[in-house]
């Protein structure tokens, strides 16, 4: 008699909410528009000729800091008191030759800190002129 009273006292699982959810999902997927995949608008490749290559210039960034330190593309160049800037000149010359072989223009962008000595900007301009780079511009300093 003890076993039958334990079996009778157990709760039964009601599956009615689960059936309701299944029916709601069935109704949802029945009325879901099946043409959504056709509306994506993807064009598959065809025998069209390739797009014309856009020649971008070879841009190099020269940063000038308040202490006179100069970085070319993130790499430190000559000392803070070096006015000749032989390392910067030789590096810019190599970059210019490399760009010329590839047939693209070389552009030097100078980002000088507002508190940097103006003479350092002139030194960078002189080094660019020695490297035969004529396209030099100034950009606002990114802090």
pLDDT in tens, 86-111: 888 888 888 888 888 888 888 889 88
Query: Is residue 1 included in any domain, yes or no?
Result: no
Which of 4-8, 23-27, 55-59 is the least confident region?
A: 4-8
Look at residue 96 in the predicted model and tell me its pLDDT.
87
**Using alpha carbons only, what angle is made at residue 50 by residues 46 and 52, rounded to the nearest 5 degrees?**
150
Residues of the chain by 3-state class (helix, strand, coil), percent to 5 = 40, 15, 45
Phi, psi of 101 (to 5 degrees): -65, -35
Query: Is residue 15 included in any domain, yes or no?
Result: no
- Max mean pLDDT among 2-11, 40-49, 61-70, 132-141 falls in 61-70
Look at residue 22 in the predicted model and tell me its pLDDT.
92
Look up the CATH number of the domain holding residue 88. 3.30.420.270
Query: Is residue 119 included in any domain, yes or no?
Result: yes
Look at residue 2 in the predicted model and tell me its pLDDT.
55
Domain containing residue 113: 58-139
pLDDT in tens, 4-17: 555 565 677 888 88
């Amino acid at each position: 008699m003890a076993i039958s009273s334990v079996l009778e006292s157990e709760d039964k699982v009601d599956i009615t909410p689960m059936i309701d959810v299944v029916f709601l999902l069935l109704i949802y997927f029945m009325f879901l528009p099946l043409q959504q995949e056709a509306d994506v608008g993807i064009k598959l490749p065809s025998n069209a000729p390739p797009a014309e290559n856009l020649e971008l210039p070879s841009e190099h960034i020269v940063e000038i800091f308040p202490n006179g330190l100069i970085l070319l593309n993130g790499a430190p160049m000559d000392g803070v008191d070096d006015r000749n800037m032989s390392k910067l000149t030789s590096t810019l010359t190599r970059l210019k030759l490399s760009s010329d072989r590839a047939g693209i223009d070389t552009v030097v962008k100078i980002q000088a800190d507002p508190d940097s000595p103006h003479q350092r900007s002139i030194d960078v301009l002189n080094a660019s002129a020695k490297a035969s780079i004529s396209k030099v511009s100034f950009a606002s300093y990114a802090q």
